[in-house]
Structure 1
Amino acid sequence: MNTIAKKRLLIVWHSRTGAAHQMALAAESGAQAIAAELQAEHRLDIVVKQAAQVDAQDLLGADGFVFCAPENLASLSGAMKEFFDRNYYCALDQLNGRPYAIMISAGSDGSGAARQTERICTGWRLRLIAPALIVNTDAQSPQAITAAKTITDNDSAACETLGATLAALLL
């Protein structure tokens, strides 16, 4: 009889232009691939949810997290920040030690949003598994900033690797 507990990876995302959503889906793909490679698909649930749809029960039911959002005006996007604000105290002192990763889509920098996410997750006492992955879209004009984005194959591969790494740690 198999007594190994099933693990749940929660990928929380927000995106306006599509880049962060593509990054979240790439992380999911990487997590699925490593679970298949380890012949452990039956031991991992991967849940991908938009930040606005995530509640405290989703957080409490997860064993690890990927937080994926754009940087807006040198900080975390408002919808992702609202997700953290809405759930912070409901999950406080209940997620201690769980692993997480950060993926940020940015027009030029991304470090402000990454730092902000790290500070929030430090309060939850989560364990960062790798430096934040920042995908730079080089969007500098108003038109480029608001335009739909497609991330590069290299950026997608990096997101897959991060998702796979987190999944492998859970398995």
Structure 2
Amino acid sequence: MLAIIWHSRTGASRAMAAAVAQGAGEQGVLLTAAEAMPAILLGARGYVFVCPENLGSMTGQMKEMFDRCYYPMLGRVEGRPYATAISAGSDGAGALSQMDRILTGWRLKRVADSLIVNLGAQTMEEIRAEKTVSEVDLDACRNLGSAFAEGLDLGIF
């Protein structure tokens, strides 16, 4: 199982996570950050974490998932592969840095460059609005899911 853990407020990360799952096929399991519990995550062979960057940080729901799952999983998932996908209004660097720092503690192994989709939302209206992700960016998410699932199948990760 490839666990695809996501949170979204305005639709972009939801669409990105769905595209990753589509690419992963039968291996991909979508879990909202609220649904992701240690018992489920311990059964996964790999992880893709998908969230927006809010105020220069990962979204609060994703942080809460890490808070809830961190210690129950610590020392039990070392070496498992992971990837990240972030929807952002600018560069996504803050959310990426936070996730990588936490995932380093779990000793997970990054197997793909982070996918950051910059939607350029800068005004209050743009930030609050429901987002649409381009087909090019959704294809990149599908490719991430497909490559990750293939890597798991082949035993590369």
TM-score interval for Structure 1 and Structure 2 normalised by the shorter chain:
over 0.9
The aligned length equals: 153
Q: How far did 1:127 drift?
A: 0.5
Which position in structure 2 is the counterpart of 1:21?
Answer: 14
In 1, the alpha carbon distance for the partners of 2:24 and 2:29 equals 11
In 2, the alpha carbon distance for the partners of 1:166 and 1:120 equals 21
Which position in structure 1 is the counterpart of 2:64?
Answer: 82
- 3-state secondary structure, aligned to 1:53: coil
- 1:1-171 alignment runs, 5 A limit: 8-32=1-25, 45-171=27-153
Q: Which residue identity lines up with residue 167 of structure 1 in the other structure?
A: A
- Indicate the percent of aligned positions where both proteins have the same amino acid: 52
Residue pair 2:79, 2:109 contacting (<8 A) in 1 also: yes
Q: CA RMSD in A?
A: 0.8
Q: How far did 1:46 drift?
A: 2.2
The TM-score, its normalising length taken from structure 1, stands at 0.88
In 2, the alpha carbon distance for the partners of 1:158 and 1:11 equals 15
Query: 5+ unaligned residues in a row in structure 1: which ranges?
Result: 1-7, 33-43
Query: 5+ unaligned residues in a row in structure 2: which ranges?
Result: none
In 2, the alpha carbon distance for the partners of 1:128 and 1:166 equals 11
In 1, the alpha carbon distance for the partners of 2:78 and 2:147 equals 19
- 3-state secondary structure, aligned to 1:168: helix
Larger Cα Rg: Structure 1 or Structure 2? 1
